[in-house]
Amino acid sequence: MEAKKIRESRAVKSVIISPPDANNLGTMFGGKVMSLIDEIAGLSAMRHARSPVVTASTDSVDFLHPIKIGHAICLESFVTWTHNTSMEVFVKIVGEDLLTGDRTVCATAFLTLVALDKNGNQKLIPPVIPETDYEKKLNETAPHRAEQRQERRCHSKEFAAEFGLISLVDR
């Protein structure tokens, strides 16, 4: 399977924030931001895998600055790393005051998505080729994040089992 350049999975989406997107403080709902993050991560993952994908996890969404009504946000995503059937996708959200042109990184997120074949089974995917220093740094640090994900997943399963949310057989 031939490796693909990271830039081949890059996706960009811009949205202007209107009152229905915001809370009573005039800033964008976090859940709305998270929905857009999941959507664009899926687009990047599908571009890389050229197949349907499902979200397996969201590491975190770090909200760094509020996004105000009347501002725009630009979401950029790309696959940073792959492992057999799964891929890590990085998403950066930049807010822009359209009247001044000021731009600020408002949030970042890492997600893991899994490629599926036409029968809904996991599908092998090609590795990625990082080219820029930025891509190389994200790619080099991805295995550590993957380890942390696995640990967190094990803890989540243990927690759910402890409180009867799932049986230990489901592990």
Q: Does residue 163 lie within any of the structural domains?
A: no
Give the pLDDT confidence score for residue 162 in this predicted structure. 76
Q: Is residue 149 part of a domain?
A: no
pLDDT tier at 75, thresholds 50, 70, 90: very high
| 86 and 113 Cβ atoms separated by less than 8 Å | yes
CATH number of the structural domain spanning residue 99: 3.10.129.10
- 26 versus 163: the higher-pLDDT residue is 26
pLDDT at 163: 74
How many distinct structural domains can be found in the chain? 1
**Residue 23 located in a structural domain:** yes
Q: Look at residue 47 in the predicted model and tell me its pLDDT.
A: 98
Indicate whether 88 belongs to any domain: yes
Work out the mean pLDDT of the chain and round it to a whole number: 93
Using the structure block, give the residue that is written with the tokens 């105000």.
Answer: 68
In a domain, residue 139? The reply is no
Cβ 34 vs Cβ 58: under 8 Å: yes
CA distance 93 to 101: 15
- At 121-156, the pLDDT tens digits run 999 999 999 999 999 999 999 999 999 988 988 888
Report the C-alpha gap between 63 and 32 in whole angstroms.
Answer: 12
Q: Decide: residue 55, CB within 10 A, 0-12 exposed, 13-18 middle, 19+ buried.
A: middle
From 129, 92, 115, select the one nearest 12 (Cα to Cα).
92
> What is the pLDDT at residue 64?
95
* Residue 104, domain extent: 4-132
Does residue 81 lie in a domain region? yes
DSSP H stretches of helix in the chain: 30-49, 133-162
pLDDT value for 166: 64
Residue 36 covered by a domain: yes
The answer to whether residue 168 sits within a structural domain is no
